[in-house]
Structure 1
Amino acid sequence: FIELKELENLSDLRLEIAGGMTAEDEPFVEEQRRKLIQAGLEDSFSIRPNITREQKLDFLRNLTIFSVPARYPEAFGLYVVEAMAAGVPVVLPNAGSFPELVNITQGGCVYDSDKNGTLTDALEDVLSDPMKAKKMGLQGHRAVSEN
């Protein structure tokens, strides 16, 4: 996110973080918050832990892009399907079920999670092309709705 904010065409980008947070997650989340503040981005992000179902639906509807850079292979990420159902394009690591899910739905793209910078490049690619993002969002929504 910090690298993306440095790009002229993405300087107005916001980072929205939401979802379940346990006591075990708090140190990591706090570390990320500190990094963002140290980068001077305190007005460019929000963190909403433990939101309700309605808040989650509202959250998803207001996103431009959805990415969870999981460091472990997910057997199935329900949150990805929820984002697609909301018409939001997804950018996911090439691990677990994500490549197959993106291939079947065409609702986003995957990046090589073993290489530095590929997440940033993938996000920049989608965020810099609103028509591409819209098409991915529509395709993901259609695939989830029809299945």
Structure 2
Amino acid sequence: MMRLPRFVLFGLTALIASSAMAEVDRSPRPGGVYRLKPGLFVASGARCQDPANAALRRYDGKGISTAHTRACVARVLSKRRSGYGYRYSVTQSCIDAGSGPGKRFTERQTIDVPDALTFSMPAKGGTTYRYCPLDQLPPELRSAAPASHP
């Protein structure tokens, strides 16, 4: 029988233990109109643990909403390769209220999506938003993250 050096045994034990403790990502896969991971995104410089409302965006596979809009639906006008990802030109309609009654409005937007966890809106100051995993969000925002996407 071959004896393995002690450091190899410790390394294998640590690898097996960390694999067993790793959680399976049960959140929705990237998809929908922008091929982003559905959930909450925060602006560059904001922390997932305590974001301001102004720094939050919610992607549900249909559109990107803010704390003051809901039921957003984007319709792609054009999509082209841009750097590592895609640039979308869309018209998006939303209800102009985070909750309660509100009128639907429509606006034209440009959205850059370099990968499934990041997007930016060049016309709105070029702000970049990054995906926040559910376990990094404060409890009051966890229920706002989409459970699934269309």
Q: TM-score band (shorter)?
A: under 0.3
Larger helix fraction of residues:
1
TM-score (norm 1): 0.23
Answer with 1 or 2: which has the greater Rg.
Answer: 2
Larger strand fraction of residues:
2
